[in-house]
């Protein structure tokens, strides 16, 4: 049994020191770097017939452990399930090394890990496990999602190769059926863990509520992958409803804060609540560690389009060049907006359409056309100079500070910029030009009104184009 001792040494140390993170390493599917053979040694330490007897001896008759009967019984359940799981995991990994990935039974691995999670859940639900052990909940939820994804990907691979249905027409007709079965089940299991933490009524220093944001973030990741983003709002509502009995977000680990703010921001972004999205994404970006370049990249993917709409801010070239991903996504868009070229903007949107749609930012970036129109009309306004209103046209008691620009000048600028406002015969559709101008005025990109009978746009001389930072 000596080869198996490190796992029990860590278990005893964790129990005696109240070290939840060390405790979690004793039930993780990934062996620690210092003990790479841990899973193999654990599997060979006993067998399926003797596992409970051997585990009971380790847990109840170890002089270095001080576990009461209920707690020892809970860990007996957990380690028994873990033992059976490890056998399935090692078999899957060996099969993956020897055969094609689609032949590996990751569904069995998922079900085995689900049994481990259920045993851990019962331990917390029966208030046997103390709050300091909650890193075990982190491990439980994290790998439930990991193995569910692997199982679903294997099932999809089998469907694609004809293994699932034996080939034929049904394969095509039902190709999408059950493609995320395990991940959907994992979402339900993780939601149980989330509810377990949310409903804890123990004093906050001994509460499972300290696992809430980790579980919430895990659910966000799962729901986003399932394209069930609306379910994420239920999590936000639950946290909001229970906020009075929870520690503030700032009391949780920084990683939990950043991830939660990121997903909260993306959810608000997709709801077109851009003010809330900007606040959350900005908080996530400012809290994120400087060396976490991938996380910062993800945050900026949504923060950049958000700031384009809320504060009409464009990212600097220095910021974009720090990330090849961001540079490829946004530099063509930024150049088109700065040059006020609708044609270039259309080309950039077409070139990046696949990425923009995948990241759900296409429609938001499309609103950049409004900014280009604002910039374009402002250039016409500046190039034409100011034309003071005639005597008597200004309201009584107010200064005469208006300027008038013919609609045809805006139309000419639109044509040069590549806008499709032609009448089909090389001319310009005046109604369409007026519609674009009216839209800019309605969205507060311009201040003024259209005098249709005279074919001019009357603009405020002071602040005719608010927010011209771009």
Distances (CA, A) of 65 to 11, 68, 78, 81: 9, 9, 17, 21
**Residues 290, 292, 293, 296: is their CA dihedral positive or negative?**
negative
Quote the CA–CA distance of 450 and 462 in Å, as a whole number: 17
Identify the residue whose tokens are 């995948």.
358
Distances (CA, A) of 66 to 60, 360, 394: 8, 53, 89
User: Taking the chain (470 residues) in consecutive chunks of 10 residues, what is each chunk's mean pLDDT?
Assistant: 69 94 96 90 89 91 88 95 96 81 83 97 92 95 96 81 42 46 96 94 90 96 93 94 90 95 96 96 94 93 93 88 91 91 90 92 90 84 61 46 76 80 56 86 85 84 67
- Which pTM value belongs to this model? 0.84
Quote the CA–CA distance of 344 and 350 in Å, as a whole number: 10
User: Would you state the pLDDT for residue 167?
Assistant: 37
**Domains along the chain?**
1-158+180-250 (no CATH), 384-459 (1.10.10.10)
Distances (CA, A) of 52 to 7, 57, 73, 145: 16, 9, 10, 28
């Amino acid at each position: 049994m000596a080869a198996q001792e490190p796992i029990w040494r860590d278990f005893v140390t964790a129990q005696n020191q109240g070290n939840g993170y060390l405790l979690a390493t004793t039930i993780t599917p990934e062996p620690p770097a210092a003990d790479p053979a841990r899973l193999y040694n654990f599997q060979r330490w006993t067998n399926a017939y003797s596992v409970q007897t051997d585990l009971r001896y380790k847990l109840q008759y170890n002089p270095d452990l001080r576990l009461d009967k209920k707690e020892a019984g809970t860990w007996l359940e957990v380690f028994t399930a873990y033992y059976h799981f490890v056998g399935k995991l090692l078999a899957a990994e060996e099969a993956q090394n020897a055969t094609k990935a689609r032949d590996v039974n990751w569904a069995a691995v998922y079900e085995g890990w689900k049994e481990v999670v259920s045993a851990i859940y019962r331990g917390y639900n029966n208030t046997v496990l103390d709050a300091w052990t909650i890193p075990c909940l982190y491990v439980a939820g994290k790998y439930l999602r990991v193995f569910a994804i692997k199982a679903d990907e294997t099932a999809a691979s089998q469907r694609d190769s004809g293994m699932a249905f034996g080939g034929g027409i049904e394969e095509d007709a039902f190709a999408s059926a059950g493609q995320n079965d395990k991940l959907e089940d994992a979402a339900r299991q993780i939601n149980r863990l989330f509810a377990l933490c949310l409903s804890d009524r123990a004093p906050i220093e001994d509460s499972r509520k300290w696992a809430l944001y980790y579980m919430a973030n895990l659910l966000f990741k799962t729901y986003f992958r399932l394209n069930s983003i609306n379910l994420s709002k239920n999590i936000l509502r639950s946290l909001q409803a229970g906020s009075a009995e929870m520690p503030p977000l700032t009391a949780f680990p920084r990683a939990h804060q950043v991830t939660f703010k990121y997903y909260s921001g993306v959810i608000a972004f997709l709801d077109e609540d851009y003010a809330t999205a900007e606040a959350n994404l900005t908080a996530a970006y400012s809290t994120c560690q400087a060396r976490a370049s991938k996380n910062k990249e993800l945050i900026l993917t949504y923060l950049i389009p958000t700031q384009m709409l809320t504060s009409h801010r464009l990212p600097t070239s220095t910021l974009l060049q720090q990330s090849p991903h961001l540079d490829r996504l946004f530099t063509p868009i930024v150049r088109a907006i700065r040059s006020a070229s609708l044609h270039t903007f259309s080309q950039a949107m077409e070139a990046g359409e696949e990425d923009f749609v995948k990241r759900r930012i296409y429609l938001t970036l499309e609103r950049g056309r409004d900014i280009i129109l604002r910039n374009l009309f402002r250039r016409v306004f500046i190039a034409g100079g100011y034309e003071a209103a005639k005597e008597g046209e200004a309201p009584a008691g107010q200064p005469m500070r208006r300027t008038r620009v013919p609609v045809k000048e805006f139309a000419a600028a639109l044509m040069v910029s590549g806008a499709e406002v032609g009448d089909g015969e090389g001319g310009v559709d005046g109604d369409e030009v007026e519609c674009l101008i009216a839209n800019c005025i309605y969205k507060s990109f311009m201040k003024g009104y259209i005098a249709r009978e005279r074919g001019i746009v009357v603009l405020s001389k002071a602040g005719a184009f608010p927010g011209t930072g771009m």
